[in-house]
Structure 1
Amino acid sequence: MKLYRLFILFVLSCQSCNAQIEKINGVSFVASREAINQNHVKPVVSVNANYASVMPFGFLRTVDNPNVVYGGERQWYGETKEGTKQYIEELRKQHINIMLKPQIWVWRGEFTGYIKMNSEEDWKTLEASYSKFILDYAQLAEELKVKLFCIGTELETFIDNRPNYWLNLIKEIRKIYKGKLTYAANWDEFKRTPFWRELDFIGVDAYFPVSDDKTPSYDDALKGWKAHLPEIRKRHEAFDKPILFTEFGYRSVDFTGREPWKSDRSMNQVNLDGQTNTTKALFETFWKEDWFAGGFIWKWYHNHEKAGGTENTRFTPQNKPVEAIIKAHYAVYK
C-alpha cells in the first residue's frame, strides 16, 4: 500500500512538467437504457478524461447473416441514433471530446472477427447493409462535428475477404465526414489491416497478453509489453500514423494479464492488484511516447455510484483502486 501511495504522488508530481504531451485520455462510455444527464458526466470529468467513446450498435443474428439491424424499438436508448446524439450533447457540455464508434453485436455474443458470408450474394448484402449503418452514423458525426469517427471494430475476417470494399467505404465516409478516422483492430489483427494509410490513426484494441501470473506484478507486466512494443512501433513507422488504443484495460480478476480479452464469467476471483499493476505498466510503456496518441479505457458506465466496486471482477475501473491510477495519469497528459 505504501508503494501504491508513492506511485500516485510521483505521477501527480509530474503535472508541473512542461515537456508532457497532450493525449487522448478517453473512456468507453457504455450505452444504457436511459438518457444521461450532467450527474452522469461529472465522474468522467473527475477522472480527468478529455474524450469519450460513444458506441451505438447494429446487430447481426449470426456470424453468417448479412443483414445489419439497427434503430429498432428493442434497442436500448443509448444504442440508438437518438440516444447517441443525446449522449454526445451531454458529454460536450463538459468539454469532453467524442469518438463516435458504431459497433456490431452478434446475437449470443459471438466474436465479430468471425463474421463471414457463405456466398457472393450474401457478401454483397452485408456490404450494402454495413454501409448503410456506418454512413448513417458518419452523417451524424459530421452533423455534430465530433472529432473522431471509428469505421468498425474487430471485423478482421470481413476485411480479409473484402479489402476493396473497405477501401471504397473509407472514400464514401470521407465524402460525408470531414473529421479524423480510425478503425479498431483487435490486438492480433492490426498487423494485417490493409488500409491504415487511408486513415488518420492506427487504432488497436490493446488486449495483448503480458503475463501468465495469477497476480501480475508491475515489473512483470512491463517485461510482457517488450514482446509487443516493437511491432506496434513498426506500424507507426511504416505508415507515419499515430497509434491510438481504441480500447484498453484489464479485468479485476486472477490471471488478468494472460488473456486480457476474455470476458468469461467463470473467471470470478476478484484480484484488484492484478488490474492495478497491469494498468500502471501499460501507462508507463505508452503514454510517454510521442508517436502514441492515447486511448479509451474499457469500460465506463453512466451510473458511476453503482458501477464496479471492490467486489466486481469485470473490466470497469470504476470505484476500484485502478481508478486513481487512471485519474493520476490522465491529469499529467491532459
Structure 2
Amino acid sequence: MKIIFRMSLFLLVCSCAMTSHKTEKINGVSFVASRDTINDVHIKPLLNIHANYAAIMPFGFIRELSHPEIVFNTERQWFGERAVGVKQYAENMKKNQIKVMLKPQIWVSRGAFTGGIKMTSEADWQVLEDSYTSFILTYAKLAQELQTEIFCIGTELESFIDERPEYWKQLIVNIKKVYKGKLTYAANWNEYDRTPFWDPLDYIGIDAYFPVSDEKTPTVEACRKGWLKHKPTIKSFSERYKKPILFTEVGYRSVDFSGKEPWRSDRDMTVVNLEAQTNTMQVLFEVFWNEDEDWFAGGFLWKWFHNHKEAGGENDSRFTPQNKPVETLVKAHYSK
C-alpha cells in the first residue's frame, strides 16, 4: 500500500508541476485611456468576453515628426494618459484578475505616423533620445511598482530605430535595471523583420495589420489564403529567435475592404460593413489562436473603450468590437 501511495503521490506532483508550466494564451484588449477613473462596472465587460490581459496606454506628445521633445504626464492630459491614471487602471485590472501590459505610446500632432519621427541634426537626436529615455523610464519604473506582467518599450518607431539602433540597445539595458518583468516592442507589421534588438526582449511584438484580402467584403476563404501568405514567415521568425510572437495590436475595422489595408484609420471611411469585420476576425482566430504558445503567445485587440454601453455599436465603422456581432466571436474564442 505504501508503494502504491508513494507512486500516486509522485504522479500527482508531476501532474501538478506539468500543469503549472502550461503557458496561458494572452487574450488581450487595448484599453483606451479616458478622462475618467475606472471601476468594476468598466471591467465587467472584459470579464464577459473572457479577456485575461489589458494593454494600458499612457501617451507622450510630439509637436511634429522632426520635433525632438516629448511632452508627457502633464495635468493637461486625460486622466488615463498620465501616470496617476495608469496606476488606477492597473490596480483595478489586477483586482479583477486581469493582467497588464503597460504600453507607453507617442502621439504626433494631427495624427502623423510615428514611424516617420526623424530628426534633422545630431543635436536634435540627442534631445529626442534624452526625452524618450525620460518618458519610457518613468513608465518602466511604474510598471515595476505595479508588477505589470509585460512592459512594451515603444510602438511603431521604425525611423527612430533605423537611425539610432545603438541608442535602443542601451535603452533596453537601462530599462532592465528598473523593470524585472517581460519586455517587448510593438513593431509595425512591415518593420518587425529588421528590428535589431529582439535578442534581449521576451516577446517579438508585432502590430499585425497585415493585408489579407482585396475584397470589398472579405470572405473567410480569401482571408485564410491571405494569412497563409504571412504565417510561415512569422513562425520562422519566431523559430529564428526562439521567442514567441505577440500581436501587440491586432484588429479590423467594420468597413468595406477591411482586410486590404487594415492599418488605415481615415475618418472618411464611414461605410459600415459588419460582415467584413467578422470574417477577418474569424480567420485571425482560426489561423493563430490554436497555435502552441511556445511560438504564438496571443495578442491585444485594437481597441476597447471603458464606457462599454456607449462604445461601438452596429453603426460604428471603427476598430472596436464592442456591441457588434464580432464581440460574440471574440467571446467564443477567448473562452477557449
**What TM-score do you get using the length of structure 2 for normalisation?**
0.92
In 2, distance between residues paired with 1:280 and 1:192?
29
Q: Aligned-residue CA RMSD in angstroms?
A: 1.0
Equivalent residue letter for 2:231: L
Question: What corresponds to 2:330 in structure 1?
Answer: 326
Partner of 2:3: none
Aligned to 2:118: 116
Q: Which runs of 5+ in 2 are unaligned?
A: 1-18
Which residue matches 1:79?
Answer: 81
TM-superposed deviation, 1:235: 1.2
Deviations 1:136-177 (A, max 9, x none): 100000011110000000000000000000000000000000
Gap change, CA 1:232 and 1:40, over 3 Å in 2 = same
Q: Which amino acid aligns with 2:268?
A: S
Could you tell me which residue of structure 1 aligns to residue 66 of structure 2? 64
What per-residue deviation string (whole Å, max 9, x for no partner) do you get for residues 261-286 of structure 1? 00011111100000000001011111
Deviation at 1:21, TM superposition (A): 6.5
Q: State the AA in 2 paired with 1:228.
A: H
Larger Rg: 2
Cα deviation per residue 1:225-263 (whole Å; 9 max; x = unaligned)? 011112111210110000000000000000000000000
Asked whether 1:303 is paired with 2:300, we answer: no
Please give the TM-score of this superposition, normalised by the length of structure 1.
Answer: 0.93
Between the aligned partners of 1:33 and 1:227, the Cα distance in structure 2 is 41
Letter in 1 for 2:331: K
Instruction: State the Cα distance separating 1:22 from its structure 2 match.
Output: 2.9
Equivalent-residue separation in structure 2 for 1:228 and 1:82 (angstroms): 40
Bigger Cα displacement from structure 2, 242-251 vs 282-291:
282-291
Question: Highest relative contact order (Cα 8 Å, sep 6+), 1 or 2?
Answer: 1
TM-superposition CA deviations, 1:3-27 (whole Å, max 9, x none): xxxxxxxxxxxxxxx9x96300000
Tell me the matched-pair count: 314
| Identity %, equivalent residues | 63
2:51 to 29, 44, 49: 49
Distance in 1 (CA, whole Å) between partners of 2:147 and 2:267 is 38
Residue 226 (str. 1) matches residue 245 (str. 2): no
Q: How does 1:1-334 map to 2 (within 5 A)?
A: 22-290=24-292, 291-332=295-336
Distance 1:307 1:230 in 2: 35
Secondary structure of the 1:197 match is coil
| Alignment check: 8 A CA contact 1:21 1:288 kept | no
**Equivalent residue for 2:10?**
none
Unmatched runs of 5 consecutive residues or more in structure 1? 1-17
- Return structure 1 stretches of 4+ with deviation > 6 angstroms: none
